[in-house]
Amino acid sequence: METLILLAGLLDPQSWLNALWVAVGLGVVIFIHELGHFLAAKACGVKVEKFMIGFDIGGWKLSWRWGETEYGIGILPLGGYVKMLGQEDNPYRIREEMERARRQSGDPNAADETPKEGAEPLSEQDSPAATALDPRSYLAKPIPARMLIISAGVIMNVLLAFVLSTWAFNLGVPYPPAVVGQPVPGGAAWEADLRPGDEIIRVNDVENPQFRDLQHAVAFGDPEQGVELVIRRPGRKEPFAVRIKPKQVPGAPIPLLGLTSASDLVLADVPVIPGTPAADATPEFAPGDRVVAINGQPVENYADLQAALVRHTDETIRVEVERAADRTQQAGQRVPIKVAPNRMRRVGLVMALGEIVAVRKNSPAAQARARGVPDDFPVGLRPGDLIVEIRNQQDDQPLELDPVTLPEQLRRLAGQAITVVVSRQGNQELEFPNIVLEPPRWVDLSPSLGSPIGAPGLGICYRVVNRVVGVVPGSPAARNGSFAPGKDEITRVEIRQPPQEVEQADSRWLPAPEVTIPLGKENPNWPQVFLAMQDSLPGARLVLYVQGRDEPVELEIEESSQWHYYQRGFIFRPLQYVRKASSFGESLRLGLQETWQQLTVVIRFLQNIGRLGKQIGGPITIFRQAAVHAERGFVDFILFLALLSANLAVLNSLPIPVLDGGHFVFLLYEGIRGKPVSERVYITITLLGFFFILGLIVLVTAMDISRLFQ
């Protein structure tokens, strides 16, 4: 099945077009860098012997000669180089190049042939700088000229970043605003009571930020100091400030705030998920449709839409859409479409409810008071509490402690009072009566491995233990009859999509044919199994590996007759604003700001390399990211190339031998001392730099490959 999907991608003309854009774009960034060295060398009278894009390993190249210079494209597309007479980056050929530069000058003292391996190096007094050299040799030029030649590549990359950024703002740059799509359950922002639809109008000192400014503030800031945010909340008159400390979440290399960016109300190019109520609705939903109302109530943003979907989870709803302008027959018309509720997909296993891992600020759970405790006893439920019982105070009936249906049970009791009984620290049982549940406006579920399930009406997040404690009567698990509640523990789950459904599904939206999710004490991933089941195609099957059993148990995923899932199968475009310069002068100003931002981001990343090292990407990551940006559109792609050019400028400026910055340091030393570093020291340091860069390339490539299999 993976082969079929791969072939479908290869046959897609758009994939080939994107690949061409990527190849040309990356080639331009490298070409401009090498062009800087080339033009500076020519201006200083240095003979340029080669101008290569890519490396001609083993002589594999496509090249031609024009005048005294060979131009070509090498077989290894990891960069490029300009080969000047007397200048050599390969530490194994440095001495050979020095001798050749002397011989071409006609110096009678120059060696007649290349020194054999192991020959004594030149002394400091007899170094190339102190002997006759070809006047067009790089080594024969004064230090300022050589500094200009070495720096020219970096300068050209900075200029390219500026030109591309300016061009982008002249066309109009789309960007995701700093609007909260959803707080990640149990994350720092979730605990601080940030909500879908909250607009962040300041991040530390940055006014009117983009979503990336929020990401940069977290990545480059001090986790202990936290991030200061100013929030504008719909329905609240005045903005308010909050300082949030990033929190470590499962699977993340660094502490995070735990926020996702917002979606728009406009349906994406693939508007619905196959096999869902939205896909079965008549008339059909179409790309570009804008949702404007649910059951006659206007929706102003995605947060309103989420709230309406949650409020009517188990009801048929009337979705009113405004047709896109390119649908000429109905352009601008409002069309009501009835959408049935989405039945929850399950196999009938009830897993154990784990301990509370987070309590949301200002929530009913945070303000609850325990019965029969002193007045100074701390208020609220706490992380670490284990829920023993939840009762509806109206009829004193206990709720079923099924982790995946508990949020929906609480939603149905919104506005009513419940009693929660918890076990604290394993030896203290506390009863919290009169907790009035809030009407939930979103669902606390995340596809990230290790994320807990949240009950927003109560304001808690809890783990799910991978131990079976019950079986739903009449379910696939009940019909299988092999599960022992209270004993069986699931160690791994595989979700397999039916091949015939995969072949018929839209290739632009397609779940993986097979997904493996590990389970265990260190992998509390049943919430992610639950979410994967909701996104599965009709006829999908769950393969469960049970501790102590040799053979796995395979169950068909079926629709529940009792419970529903709030999502109906809509796929929305991400929320984006567009910033377009109103004049050429403003384009220049915005381009300059963007270039400075790109350069400083790279520098700040390097300053925090100890914390952010796992996020380094190599050639595979660069190519994949370039393809993603090419898919998003031309403006997004040229901004990515601007960022890549800025990256190349900063990295080449580092004082590492073999890189431009390393050569510049050697020249600086020569200018201060009045003579170059000795050949022995030069070769030794250059070799160290060479092996460092080679090792770094191997490391980031290995990291790239490992990401492909994650």
DSSP line for 236-267: -SS-EEEEE--B--TT-SS-B--EEEPEEEEE
Strands (E), 519-574: 541-546, 553-556, 558-565, 570-574
Q: Which of the residue ranges 384-398, 415-429, 492-506, 510-524 would you say has the lowest mean pLDDT?
A: 492-506
Q: Are 377 and 404 within 8 A, CB to CB?
A: no
Confidence of residue 132 (pLDDT cuts 50, 70, 90): low
Specify the pLDDT at position 4: 32
Find the largest Cα–Cα distance for the chain: 108
Binned at pLDDT 50, 70 and 90, residue 357 comes out as very high
Q: Report the side by side order of strands in the sheet with 514-518.
A: 514-518, 490-496, 541-546, 553-556
User: Mind listing the pLDDT tens digit for each residue in 138-171?
Assistant: 888 898 999 999 999 999 999 999 999 999 999 9
Q: What is the CA radius of gyration of the chain?
A: 32
The predicted structure's pLDDT at residue 558? 94
CA 191 – CA 243 distance, rounded (Å): 12
Rounded to the nearest integer, the mean pLDDT of the chain is: 85
Residue 152 tokens, joined: 């020219």
Q: What pLDDT shows up at residue 248?
A: 81
Would you state the pLDDT for residue 115?
44
> Closest by alpha carbon to 178, among 143, 204, 148, 139?
204
Please state, for a pLDDT cut of 90, what percent of the chain lies above it. 52
Provide long-range contacts, Cβ within 8 A and 24+ apart, for 583-587: 584/170, 586/169, 587/166, 587/167, 587/169, 587/170
| Residue-by-residue DSSP string for 447-473 | -STT--EEETTTTEEEEEEEEEEEE-T
Residue 553: pLDDT over 50: yes
Query: Residue 335: pLDDT above 80?
Result: yes
Q: What is the pLDDT of residues 268-287, one digit of tens each?
A: 988 998 889 999 999 999 99
Report d(CA 55, CA 76) in Å as an integer. Answer: 5
Q: Is the pLDDT assigned to residue 355 strictly greater than 90?
A: yes
- The yes-or-no verdict on residue 630 having pLDDT over 90 is no
pLDDT at 453 over 50: yes
Task: Confirm if 541 and 554 have CB atoms less than 8 A apart.
Answer: yes
Q: Which domains does the chain have, with CATH numbers?
A: 141-173+583-710 (no CATH), 262-345 (2.30.42.10), 348-556 (no CATH)
Q: Which of 129-138, 274-283, 650-659 has the least mean pLDDT?
A: 129-138
* 372 conformational bin, left if phi > 0, alpha if psi -120 to 50, beta if neither: left
What dihedral angle (degrees, nearest 10) is formed by the CA atoms of 377, 381, 382, 386?
120
Average pLDDT over residues 373-394: 92
> For residue 110, is pLDDT > 70?
no
Torsion sign across C-alpha atoms 31, 632, 503, 557: positive
> Above pLDDT 70, what percent of the chain?
86
Residue 123 has pLDDT above 70, yes or no: no
Q: Mind listing the pLDDT tens digit for each residue in 14-65?
A: 556 666 777 788 888 889 999 999 999 999 999 888 898 888 776 777 878 8
Q: pLDDT band at residue 127, thresholds of 50, 70 and 90?
A: very low
Instruction: Show Cβ contacts of residue 64 under 8 Å, excluding neighbours closer than 6 positions.
Output: 70, 71, 72
- Residue 576 confidence class, pLDDT cut points 50, 70, 90: very high
Residue 114, pLDDT above cutoff 60: no
Q: Is the pLDDT of residue 412 over 90?
A: yes
For residue 444, pLDDT over 50 is answered with yes
pLDDT band of 97, cuts 50, 70, 90: low
The pLDDT value given to residue 699: 81
- pLDDT band for position 506 (cuts 50, 70, 90): low
Q: Enumerate residues 6+ apart whose C-beta is below 8 A from 339.
A: 277, 278, 281, 316, 317, 318, 319, 568
Query: What's residue 91's pLDDT?
Result: 59
pLDDT, position 680: 81
The per-residue pLDDT for 703 is 75
CA–CA distances in Å: residue 21 to residues 163, 220, 704: 18, 32, 21
Q: How many CA atoms lie within 13 A of 523 on its CB side?
A: 12
pLDDT, mean of residues 311-336 = 84
Helix (H) or strand (E) holding 207: strand 206-207
Q: Is the pLDDT of residue 365 over 90?
A: yes
Report the pLDDT averaged over residues 320-333.
75
Q: What is the mean pLDDT of residues 230-251?
A: 88
Q: For 523, which DSSP code? A: B
- pLDDT at 196 > cutoff 90: yes
Q: ∠ at Cα 91 (86, 97), nearest 5°?
A: 25
Whole-angstrom Cα distance, residue 600 to residue 650?
9
